[in-house]
Structure 1
């Protein structure tokens, strides 16, 4: 970057896939992928004007941290010391606080035609979190998709939970459609139900017989308006799913299909959970990348991560990071096309 306040744009491309990234928030601004007829379109939401990323932050395509998702009551205790965080979601802390990693100007540590690595130093007590945290995020176009690798180290005990916060619409960012006709599969038998403030209660709830059962693929809009307390609290889906398979191993954790374009996205991650959010508050705002105003549910997020509020829930997978250890999260968005649901999920 020529100066800290300048937002630099970086393009990487390979095999018909092109990504545009920003140094602000290590943000994915555009991701162009072909449909079943070979026609490429941008499938992630963003802003038309770069200045809006600072003026109207909505987490479009950013790296969320230090702690992605919510921490209840904006505080947690680690090794007997209570750390108080700035609240930016009612009484809670969301995505690291009001000046989280999405608001930071990242440095470009390495780049080539197919990849770019961003680096950030987060000082001790940045947004209230302990430890000097050094973070790197690498984007690479490979194996028919975009991989994202997170790495971090600390000089004292802390918590870390990093994820990517892209909003996807596989019909195209400028299509003007919602994602309610997208078909989704999440291989998860449980969720972590929340209270009215969307903080997990600490329970694990079976998806059997509920609107949260995506083990068999179904359109997102099929059950989103069901009479369900959890859906009412989130005004739609905004919940963490407990994934099958061993955390720490890369595996497919979700598949998303748009019948209109034929695009299929297979999401892979090493994390134990994935937050599924249906863009319930997206409606209105300033113009998107293609110049249109997004409707509510005009995009969705699938955010692999540790469970929300894990620092306050000892039974949840730990988000602790100690000196001498490295935080690692590998994830990837893999793309293909299909003629119908049977082929997409076969």
Structure 2
């Protein structure tokens, strides 16, 4: 299939670029005062995404994040997944939906829908699956990402989005972003980033972002790759990222119970470490194997459906009148 990209435009001057490879979010141009900012880290040519190991802008899954031991059980039947991160399974395994060519189902000026199919047993997942992703760029500078999955048998599903944000603009340093997360707790992890099963209060820890705090990726405490237990509903902002100059905010919300925050410490090659920040709504990592983590199977009778929303809020005018 031909590698292609598509542009969505709104009345506010935003332009969002989507690719049919991995249903990836490649660019998001927005006007901040008189300045055009592209706030999504990515490659300069489409073909470079074909060899991308960092999931730039991709839809990751069928189950995003990690599954410990690369296995899970459904009705006492164990399913062995591909182990692609040591002994564990990450982001659906190799050549999963992030590295598939998606079919364009429908496209309008502000909306595009893409579809991807996986065969039964792909990387160990039971049941043939169909994925639909719809990107809707609204006039209020919000981007709604609706994900739907149908399956032929009970299976584990929990995809997410994986853009690396730099609200200063990708030509600028990413250090100095301000982060606020509406979460009282996080899921404790072991040395392989697999949850221990413990849900731990953020109070008194470096992971307390209940009040806005400036990130310094040179400090180990801000090298984040952690799942937060969001305490707000899908109708509210569950996390807010603020540009270093405080002129642009990104509000994140979803119907998922968790939010993975990753500050890009493993980026390398064309990208400097910590040059972008991922805010990935999700089920908690390893949820299929942890009884006290919120999770549900996707079945033929109950398809998966989730909305992830990223909304830009511009503070330029307010600053100019202060």
TM norm structure 1: 0.88
1:74-122 CA-to-partner distances (Å, cap 9, x unmatched) read 1111111111111111111110001211111000011001110001111
CA positional deviation for 1:337: 1.6
- Structure 1 unaligned residues grouped into runs of 5+: 287-293
CA RMSD in angstroms, aligned pairs only: 1.8
CA distance in 2, matches of 1:88, 1:237: 21
CA positional deviation for 1:251: 2.7
Match of 2:211 in 1: 216
Q: Does 1:110 align with 2:97?
A: no
Divergent runs of 4+, >4 A = none
CA positional deviation for 1:224: 4.0
| CA 1:223–1:214: 2 relative to 1, 3 Å | farther
CA distance in 2, matches of 1:271, 1:55: 29
CA distance in 2, matches of 1:69, 1:46: 20
1:221-250 CA-to-partner distances (Å, cap 9, x unmatched) read 289434xxxx7xxxx21000001135xx43
TM norm structure 2: 0.94
1:36-83 CA-to-partner distances (Å, cap 9, x unmatched) read x23221100111122221123310000001010000111111111111
CA positional deviation for 1:22: 0.5
CA distance in 1, matches of 2:94, 2:85: 9
Q: Does 1:278 align with 2:275?
A: no
Match of 1:289 in 2: none
Match of 2:165 in 1: 168
- Structure 2 unaligned residues grouped into runs of 5+: none
Q: Among residues 13, 22, 25, which one is paired with 2:22 in the alignment?
A: 25
How many residue pairs align between the two structures? 317
Q: How does 1:131-150 map to 2 (within 5 A)?
A: 131-142=127-138, 143-150=140-147
Match of 2:191 in 1: 196
Please say if residues 187 and 254 of structure 1, whose CA atoms lie closer than 8 Å, have aligned partners that are also in contact.
yes
Q: Among residues 27, 44, 48, which one is paired with 2:44 in the alignment?
A: 48
CA distance in 2, matches of 1:312, 1:211: 27
CA distance in 1, matches of 2:218, 2:299: 42
